[in-house]
Structure 1
Amino acid sequence: MEARAYLEQRLRRISGRSIAWDEETFTKEKSLEPVDLVDVAVDIAWEELMPAGALERPALEVVRQGGLIVFRLQDQPLAEILPQAA
């Protein structure tokens, strides 16, 4: 099974702004590498959560929450984050 198909089957929608997978999703299937699954999960998160017509990509926030790995958009606009990196 491909990583993308595997993750799409196990995707949970938490709200309009969050998606999640059970923690074990990233380690249970021995034929798939966890690092590859995380990479694909990020791609899926961008596709699912990116606002239509957005000119900039908001930061993704990944948190562990009650046995889930939750992906959501960070509320802070990119213009506010960049000065902090300097």
Structure 2
Amino acid sequence: MIAGAMADISMLGIRNWGEPAMVAVKHIKRREEIPEGERFVLVTYGEALGTVRDGDGYVFTVPQTAMSELSFTAVVHSAREVAKREKMPFVYACK
């Protein structure tokens, strides 16, 4: 039972020492606010839903629709997973 309990710790949000902490979200007004040469994950509004690799980072786009705020939040969540995998401390959100 102890081994099973230990396996479930990750589901409680308790992190191992080797794992990065929760990825923060930095809100910016323009893409140009991202420092030059910094690896990044950016979520912004665009023409269509998608993700592209852009130089030193990833750009997630969300179409502007009636449900755009909900969509934006969902895409930020996905972007945080990418940033965590890439060992980046935060995601930029540009609205």
TM bucket normalised to smaller: 0.3 to 0.5
* TM-score of the two chains, using structure 1 as the length reference: 0.35
* TM-score of the two chains, using structure 2 as the length reference: 0.32
Whichever structure has more helix as a proportion of its residues is 1
Higher Rg of the two aligned structures: 2
Whichever structure has more strand as a proportion of its residues is 2
Q: Which has the higher contact order (CA 8 A, sep 6+)?
A: 2
